Amino acid sequence: MLTHDCSAHARDDTTASGGAGDGWYDSVAHSAPVHLAEELLVQLQQVSGLPWWLTIVVGTLSVRTLITLPLATYQLVIIAKVEALQVEISELAKRLRYEVSVRGKERSWTEKQCRFQFKKNLRRIVSQLYVRDNCHPFKASVLVWVQLPLWVSLSLALRNLSLDQSGESTSVSLQSELAAGGALWFPDLTSPDSTWILPVCLGLTNLLIVEVFSLQRVNPSRFQKLVTNVIRGFSVLMIPIAATVPSSMALYWFTSSLVGLSHNLLLRSPKLHKILQLPTQRSDSPYRDLLAAFISKYCR
């Protein structure tokens, strides 16, 4: 961890140079969204009077519940609508293939021209269906475009506060509060977790999230298997990374992943699907089926 003297010296150098030597990382770390996240965290701690470790937990739970959970629910609705259209798209594709074949014979089209006409008209039909049901697949990616900037902003905000590099006028006292604001085996939130408990818990939670997603796929494609393995590798890589950053960041990452796992399980609830008027699930006991699939894959 950087000492206070080194942090202050680096900040003075940055001020003197007018930021000309700053790289993209420093630009992001001191951007407006990150400073806003710092302000929100400080205000939450001052208003609530909670210790800093609990402020991080409560703040993470609030952000994930008030912002990302509604977006995750919206994503679920969009995906359900897209999946419900697949049967209709399949039937329309068969009809279109026949019509193109007949038209091709009438106009002496080559096989390449027939394929081109089929793909062009199928794209048009599918696009019309998406518009009709208001479920373009791109809308399902809104969660990523919101969640990723939030995660980066809060992570860098906690880094700045922990290393006395924030834009707060009372940054020195805030760093002192964070240094004494931990709990249990991580009493100092400004230093890395030397026990590696938080990093390992983070990695295990992320791996569990990956497995929950992979177990719901009946016949995954080769590409889906590749993506799953890449995410598994990234989850393992996050363990040593989390062991080198301030405990405040590791605690935030672990809490965020834990809340994300809880939300993922919540969105599988048959009652919630009924409230959202989603198509009936394959099973009325998704949690029991998930547990059975997990035991079958890893415990036998």
Give Cα 66 distance to the centre of its chain: 15
Is position 151 within any domain? yes
Pick left, alpha or beta for residue 280 (phi over 0 → left; psi -120 to 50 → alpha; otherwise beta).
beta
Is position 225 within any domain? no
Domain count, the chain: 1
Model confidence pLDDT, tens digit, residues 164-200? 766 555 556 787 888 888 788 888 898 999 999 999 9
Single-letter amino acid code for the residue at 207: L
Tokens of 125: 């039909």
Range of the domain at 37: 24-180
Residue 201 pLDDT: 94
Question: What are the Cα distances from residue 243, in Å, to 198, 199, 238, 240, 251?
Answer: 8, 6, 8, 5, 11
pTM of the model: 0.78
Q: Which helix (H) or strand (E) holds 204?
A: helix 197-215
Residue 168 pLDDT: 54
Is position 243 within any domain? no
Residue 183 sits at φ, ψ, to 5 deg, of -155, 165
Q: Are 296 and 290 in contact (CB under 8 A)?
A: no
Nearest 5°: CA angle at 66, between 62 and 72? 120
Is position 282 within any domain? no
Is position 234 within any domain? no
Residue 18 pLDDT: 41
Is position 117 within any domain? yes
Is position 168 within any domain? yes
Instruction: Please identify every stretch of the chain with a pLDDT value under 70, giving residue numbers as ranges.
Output: 1-22, 165-172, 217-220, 279-284, 300
Neighbours of 77 (CB within 10 A): 17
Q: Are 35 and 167 in contact (CB under 8 A)?
A: yes
Is position 174 within any domain? yes
